[in-house]
Amino acid sequence: MSAAIPYSHTEYNHWQGTPGQSATVSWKRYEWQLSDGHRYLRIDNDHVIEAHYCQPGAKGITINTASHGKVSIDFDRLQTQSAAVRVHRLTFLPQGQAEDIGWYFRDDKIWREYGSQGTSSSVSSVSSTDIEHQFTLNPQGAFSFTVGSISYILDFSTMTQTNHHTGVHRNVRRRPKFISTASHTGSLLSASVLPTASSSQLPATSYKWEFMGEEGMWSEYQAHICAYDSAAIERQYQQNPQGQLHFRINRFSYTLNFSTMQQVNNSIGTPRAVRRTAVDGSQQNSSVGAQPQWQFLDVSGIWNNYFKGHDGCSISSQDIEIQYQQNPLGTMTFTTVNFNYELDFSAMTQRNLSTNTTRSVRRI
């Protein structure tokens, strides 16, 4: 991996540089692109990347592309795992309008925004707006502020905060505030309005739509079961890639959300991951690309997958992934035959609520 590229070199305000694009992206203020060294091409469904990038606790994301295969993006460096593939994020802002930026520091296990109350019950004397102003003036500089009677220095070049008295360092992150495309007034634009060149887009062909069944098995939608087969779902998707599709199976109603690539049982709220795959086997989109697996480290030092039903476990790896995507800094509880547990995403640990025994957890 090459040296870190400063934010100012990888996030571009593209409004004035390409005036002709203003009508195209007026509802969307960002675009993620990949380059193979020759040209940058937009990434399909980049709202998934943007939603993760705006989470201060997210270190990165792995996506699947037709041109480059699996690509891992480091959010702190704004780089990929390969020096041959570069990534950048464009911003499209009207003249005189600034992007809403949040600045966060790592307070023990939680990322907190400046200006909010931390574990010390004291509120920082500076806000995200104050810090962003200083950063804009000098992205490689530093400035001091106070929390109560304690003074700190925030170093933009190292993205760290240092306590003047104790010398303790804390990591700092700068992330935009996420704005869903659905929050804008007016109807959502169809895919045909967006730029057509794409690093993950294949020529027009047929696609297979599948949902994640029990224990990580993908199942294709069948018309005789839910009234929609892959072809029918694809037609709805082409009309509005950010829309929803509603259907019934027996006594239950479901919503298929194209923007999040999830199927939700409207009665009990159970979500399932969904993916769209070209007939040649190239995966086009899913909730976050290939479905990650969640594992815990047992007493013998062996990593074990989470399996629903095994020893009475109430969750599967897919259930954990869905909760993680909703809140990468949150927690969730589950049960086995004899015990209740808490899974902490920020600490990546599993804790027995009866014995307080803690085990390491990983996402692969």
Q: Go through the domains of the chain in sequence order and give each one's CATH number.
A: 7-97 (3.30.720.50), 101-175 (3.30.720.50), 202-286 (3.30.720.50), 294-363 (3.30.720.50)
Indicate the SS3 state at residue 208. Answer: strand
> Among residues of the chain, what percentage have pLDDT more than 70?
78
Q: Distance between terminal CA atoms of the chain?
A: 20
Choose between 125 and 174: higher pLDDT: 174
What pLDDT, in 10s, does the model give residues 172-183?
Answer: 999 998 765 444
Mean pLDDT, range 125-151, rounded to an integer:
90
Structure token digits, residue 290: 């290939």
Confidence of residue 141 (pLDDT cuts 50, 70, 90): very high
Confidence of residue 123 (pLDDT cuts 50, 70, 90): low
Note whether 343 and 361 are within 8 A (CB).
Answer: yes
Q: Which one-letter DSSP state was computed for residue 3? A: P
Structure token digits, residue 236: 């709805």
Confidence of residue 139 (pLDDT cuts 50, 70, 90): very high
The whole-number pLDDT of residue 251 equals: 83
Most confident of 45-49, 301-305, 336-340: 336-340
Choose between 354 and 195: higher pLDDT: 354
Q: Which one-letter DSSP state was computed for residue 312? A: G
The torsion region of residue 280 among left (phi > 0), alpha (psi -120 to 50) and beta comes to alpha
Q: 48-62, 93-107, 249-263, 272-286 — which is least confidently predicted?
A: 272-286
Radius of gyration from C-alpha coordinates of the chain: 22
- Pairing type for strands 86-91 and 11-13 reads parallel
The whole-number pLDDT of residue 288 equals: 41
Choose between 246 and 10: higher pLDDT: 246
Q: 30-34, 56-60, 71-75, 335-339 — which is least confidently predicted?
A: 56-60
**Listed residue (177, 179, 131, 180) closest to 154, CA to CA:** 131
Mean pLDDT, range 301-324, rounded to an integer:
83
Confidence of residue 197 (pLDDT cuts 50, 70, 90): very low
Answer yes or no: is pLDDT of 24 > 80: no
CA dihedral of 282, 255, 306, 293, whole degrees rounded to 10: 30
**Listed residue (128, 111, 57, 121) closest to 145, CA to CA:** 128
What pLDDT, in 10s, does the model give residues 248-276?
Answer: 888 888 999 888 888 988 888 888 888 88
The whole-number pLDDT of residue 231 equals: 87
The DSSP line for 94-147 is -TTPPP-EEEEEEETTEEEETTSB-TTS-BBS--HHHHHHHHHH-TT-EEEEEE
Choose between 259 and 343: higher pLDDT: 343
- In angstroms, rounded to a whole number, what is the distance separating the alpha carbons of residues 280 and 282? 6
Q: How many CB atoms neighbour CB 364 within 10 A?
A: 9
Note whether 225 and 299 are within 8 A (CB).
Answer: no
> Among residues of the chain, what percentage have pLDDT more than 90?
21
Structure token digits, residue 350: 């599993």
Which residue in the block uniquely carries the two structure tokens 């897919």? 318
The whole-number pLDDT of residue 186 equals: 34
